[in-house]
């Protein structure tokens, strides 16, 4: 467990946390539709087995930040993903609820994830995709050593407008 303050801590999610993970991810999609290439509608239709399987595999690392017992943020990395090279982990989500943004929790989640993934012998790089409108997130990634490696034109899931997704990578 990674302690931020007396009331805020970060812990790795287990299979028992699947409903909490599901609810946080859906909240992220609903509150920040322009931040993710997928939509709330798409993920809300996934069966519970999808969420359980995400936490039952050693190929995923999910960290949840808590204020006391209240979940306030999450981050996930896939150690194996079809969109990246075999020696590269993909950060699939970083989300902090509104009232805790700007407090450093997102940075703490990301640092803890980097530390955990760095311990994986076969992983040499961390990669993530971020929409170009997420300026605060982009600054965070750059401050922790991620560099822009590519840009892909995509479609915004919330309104179908074209948007650039930026691909960042960090050597471990």
pLDDT digits (tens, 9 = 90+) for 67-108: 989 999 999 999 987 777 889 999 988 999 988 888 899 999
For the chain, give the mean pLDDT: 87
pLDDT value for 25: 87
pLDDT value for 81: 79
CATH number of residue 166's parent domain: 3.40.630.30
Structural domain range at position 144: 2-171
Q: Is 159 exposed, middle or buried (0-12, 13-18, 19+ CB in 10 A)?
A: exposed
3-class DSSP assignment, residue 32: coil
Both tokens of residue 13?
């999610």
Domain count for the chain: 1
pLDDT digits (tens, 9 = 90+) for 21-60: 988 888 887 777 666 666 666 667 789 888 899 899 889 9
pLDDT value for 44: 76
pLDDT value for 117: 96
What are the residues whose beta carbons fall under 8 Å from the beta carbon of 168, sequence distance 6 or more? 127, 128, 129, 130, 138, 141, 142, 146, 147, 148, 149
Please give the residue that has the higher pLDDT: either 27 or 169. 169
- Tell how strand 70-78 and strand 88-96 pair up: antiparallel
CB atoms < 10 A from the CB of 40, how many?
A: 19
Chain-centroid distance, C-alpha 116: 14
């Amino acid at each position: 467990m990674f302690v931020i303050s007396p009331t805020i801590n970060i812990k790795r999610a287990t299979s028992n946390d699947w409903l909490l993970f599901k609810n946080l991810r859906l909240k992220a999609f609903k509150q920040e539709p322009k931040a993710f290439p997928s939509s709330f509608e798409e993920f809300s239709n996934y069966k519970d087995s999808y969420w359980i399987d995400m936490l039952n595999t050693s190929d995923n690392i999910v960290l949840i930040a808590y204020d006391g017992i209240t979940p306030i943020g999450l981050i996930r990395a896939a150690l194996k993903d079809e969109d990246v090279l075999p020696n590269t982990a993909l950060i699939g989500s970083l989300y902090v609820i509104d009232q805790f943004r700007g407090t450093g929790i997102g940075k703490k989640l990301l640092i803890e994830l980097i530390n955990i993934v760095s311990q994986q012998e076969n992983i040499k790089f961390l990669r993530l995709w971020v929409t170009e409108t997420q300026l605060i997130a982009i600054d965070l990634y750059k401050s922790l050593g991620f560099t822009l490696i590519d840009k892909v034109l995509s479609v915004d899931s919330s309104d179908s407008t074209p948007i650039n997704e930026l691909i960042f990578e960090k050597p471990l």
